[in-house]
Amino acid sequence: MHRMMFLVLLSFSGLTFASDADSKLGYDGKSGKVFGYDNVLEALESLKLDKNSEVSESDGWVIVNDNSNKALWSFAPKTHQSYPSVVRRAIVEKNGKIVIRTQVRCSAKRSICDLLVKDFMALNQKIKSEVLAK
């Protein structure tokens, strides 16, 4: 389901694919709001209650398709070293192009969070390559 939804997100992006994380490893760290929520777990619980969201699980990750905001949220499982963390991908317009914006809120130490970001960057690249190959 996670992969399928991301492919759907890519289909909305036209010919352009981008990620804010392409140029740097950036995440919001441990403090401050999580994309409008006080923390990662509050975001998850709120999204689960949203009737416009679809919740599924893939390899322990809780995946939320936020239909209202055309965003896909991937919440790390309790067994993941970055827990509680979330990766949010959304369709946005940037410089006149439609792109996929990848944002991360990571609650672990910097080196673990950097690995999480790199893993999702690699996943983004793999999916982009598969889509463009078709």
Q: What is the pLDDT of residues 88-127, one digit of tens each?
A: 988 778 888 777 788 888 888 889 999 998 898 888 788 7
What is the sign, positive or negative, of the torsion defined by CA atoms of 13, 19, 20, 23?
Answer: negative
Which tens digits make up the pLDDT trace of 60-88? 999 999 998 889 999 999 999 999 999 99
Mean pLDDT value across residues 14-31:
41
Confidence band of 58 (pLDDT split at 50, 70, 90): very high
pLDDT over 70 (residue 15): no
Q: What local confidence, expressed as pLDDT, does residue 33 receive?
A: 66
C-alpha to C-alpha distance for 113 and 4, rounded to whole angstroms: 25
Say if strands 86-94 and 53-58 run parallel, antiparallel, or are unpaired. Answer: unpaired
pLDDT over 60 (residue 132): yes
pLDDT over 50 (residue 6): no
Taking the model in full, what pTM does it have?
0.74
